[in-house]
Amino acid sequence: DGGITQSPKYLFRKEGQNVTLSCEQNLNHDAMYWYRQDPGQGLRLIYYSQIVNDFQKGDIAEGYSVSREKKESFPLTVTSAQKNPTAFYLCASSLQGNYGYTFGSGTRLTVV
C-alpha cells in the first residue's frame, strides 16, 4: 500500500539535544512538507521541498533543519536552538500541481 510513514510515533528529548524525525513516502510524490501543530492550534509550516536537493523555509523554520537527499525521504531535525519544541509534528507529501496533501500520522515530541 502506498503511503507516508512517520517515525517514531512518540519521542522524548532532553533539553539541549538534537533529535531527528523521520518521514518516508512511497507515493512517488514530488513535494514534501513539515508542519508543527500545538494543542488546539492550526498547522504551521516549518520547511518544504518541491524537488530533491532543494528545500525552502516555511513560516517557523528557526531552530529546525531538513535535508532532501532522496525523493522518498524528508527528515526533520529539531535542534537545541528550538526553544519550545514540544508539539505534534506532521509530515505531508503531494504531487506537483493542484492536488491535496497526504499526511503522515504524526510524531509527538516532548521535551523532558
Partner 1 sequence: QQQVKQSPQSLIVQKGGIPIINCAYENTAFDYFPWYQQFPGKGPALLIAIRPDVSEKKEGRFTISFNKSAKQFSLHIMDSQPGDSATYFCAASIRGSRLTFGEGTQLTVNP
Torsional sign, CA 40, 42, 14, 92: positive
Q: For partner 1, which stretch binds (CB under 8 A), given 11-19, 63-71, 79-87, 94-102? A: 94-102
> C-alpha grid cell for residue 53?
536537493
Decide whether 60 or 80 has the Cβ nearer to partner 1.
60
For residues 34-93, which are near partner 1 according to CB under 8 A? Answer: 40-43, 45, 48, 90, 92
**Pairing mode, strands 10-13 and 107-111:** parallel
Helix, strand, coil share of the chain (percent; to 5): 0, 50, 50
Minimum CB separation of residue 86 from partner 1 in Å reads 15
Binding site for partner 1 (CB under 8 A): 6, 31, 33, 40-43, 45, 48, 90, 92, 96-106, 108
